[in-house]
């Protein structure tokens, strides 16, 4: 499995962006989103395109490129080393979601992205998926099973993990987070959904709206590969059998503030349920600026608890790089 994000940042100079985009002339693309988390999508089944860090950053540039939170390439799993590792686990995972953040860095997983990815495969006629059917998708966080459900998709995101398990169990918080708009550092809990997250609970909606997320929050200690930071306000009921409600804003690693983060919503539900203690509900609605996603804790086939993420996915445009 590839470890995350390259650490160097591609040049943001306009002439560099223009040169990279000129090299992509003629490239067909689509634009899609899941609850406002938006992506440029490219079908490159045989892996013939050069779509690395510089290309992703240029395409995702909101002023000089197409503009998106990330680039998703649909490539056959057999064409990538990470994909071949996935095929050894699940031979049915023909398609691999090759995801990069807006700054060009790799991430292991994108929860909104994988729903939009499947919508794109259907849109391109690369797969057919009837309501209730499940498609196995290769990702850098392993195989994800995506079910077509209602107006969108439900994804088995696999098991969650604490990033600092000893501290999380002992103190219910493992780090401190600072951000523009917060008077003092706040305790936080770091959760892996394949990619890293740090969740901070705030007391009220006014604190959430008052945050300045144009500046990256500070996290101490920082998880080894950086982190996405979710600020959350939970609301009642949190009790078993009910649906817990969370309002969330997020600052994403490699992007900045986004309208939504699927893996972040899952991490938020993990942290809030942990803080609520025994008897808390397994079903959550997470409200983000771009809409609402559902998070449910379910038993996994191997005996571990899995997280299911459900939400919409839309393909809104098709085009060709000029």
Ligand X SMILES: N[C@@H](CCC[C@H](N)C(=O)O)C(=O)O
Instruction: Tell whether residue 209 is among the known ligand binding residues.
Output: no
Terminal C-alpha separation, the chain:
35
Find the shortest distance in angstroms from Cβ 240 to ligand X. 26
- Whether 266 is catalytic: no
- Whether 60 is catalytic: no
Candidate list 38, 252, 257, 308; residue touching ligand X; CB under 6 A: 252
DSSP 8-state assignment for residue 216: P
Does 269 contact ligand X by CB under 6 A?
no
x-or-dash pattern for ligand X, window 187-226, by CB under 6 A? --------x-------------------------------
Catalytic residue among 40, 110, 250, 321: 110
Does 112 contact ligand X by CB under 6 A?
yes
Sequence-distant (≥ 6) Cβ neighbours of residue 72 within 8 angstroms: 39, 40, 41, 42, 97, 98, 99, 100, 110, 113, 116, 117, 120
Catalytic residue among 51, 71, 248, 261: 261
Type and span of the H or E element at 252: strand 244-252
Does 255 contact ligand X by CB under 6 A?
yes
Distance CA 1, CA 303 (A): 23
CA distance readout (Å), 9 to 16, 72, 105, 108, 176 = 13, 18, 8, 18, 26
| Number of shown-chain residues binding ligand X (CB under 6 A) | 17
Type and span of the H or E element at 84: helix 81-89
Does 294 contact ligand X by CB under 6 A?
no
Binding residue positions: 37, 101, 111-112, 195, 228, 252-253, 262-263
Residues that bind ligand X (CB under 6 A): 37, 101, 107, 110-113, 195, 228, 252-255, 258, 261-263
Which residues participate in catalysis according to the annotation? 110, 261
């Amino acid at each position: 499995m590839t470890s995350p994000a390259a650490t160097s940042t591609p040049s943001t100079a306009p002439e560099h962006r223009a040169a990279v985009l000129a090299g992509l002339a003629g490239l067909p693309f689509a634009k899609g989103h899941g609850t406002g988390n938006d992506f440029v999508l490219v079908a490159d089944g045989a892996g013939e395109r050069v779509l690395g860090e510089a290309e992703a950053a240029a395409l995702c540039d909101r002023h000089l490129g197409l503009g998106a939170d990330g680039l998703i390439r649909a490539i056959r799993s057999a064409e990538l080393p990470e994909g071949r590792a996935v095929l050894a686990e699940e031979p049915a995972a023909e398609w691999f979601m090759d995801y990069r953040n807006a700054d060009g860095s790799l991430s292991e997983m994108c929860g909104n992205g994988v729903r939009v990815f499947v919508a794109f495969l259907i849109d391109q006629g690369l797969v057919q998926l009837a309501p209730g059917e499940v498609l196995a998708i290769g990702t850098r966080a392993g195989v994800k099973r995506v079910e077509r459900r209602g107006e969108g998709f439900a994804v088995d995101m696999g098991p969650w993990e604490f990033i600092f398990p000893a501290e999380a169990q002992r103190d219910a918080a493992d780090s401190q987070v600072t951000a523009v708009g917060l008077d003092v550092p706040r305790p936080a809990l770091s959760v892996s959904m394949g990619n890293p997250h740090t969740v901070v609970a705030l007391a009220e909606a006014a604190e959430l709206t008052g945050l300045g997320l144009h500046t990256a929050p500070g996290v101490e200690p920082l998880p080894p590969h950086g982190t996405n930071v979710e600020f959350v306000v939970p609301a009642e009921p949190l009790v078993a059998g009910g649906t817990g409600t969370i309002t969330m804003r997020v600052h994403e690693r490699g992007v900045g503030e986004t309208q939504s983060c699927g893996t972040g919503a899952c991490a938020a539900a993990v942290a809030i349920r942990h803080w609520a203690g025994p008897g808390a509900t397994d079903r959550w609605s997470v409200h983000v600026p771009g809409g609402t996603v559902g998070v449910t804790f379910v038993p996994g086939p191997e005996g571990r608890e899995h997280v299911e993420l459900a939400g919409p996915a839309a393909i809104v445009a098709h085009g060709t790089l000029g």
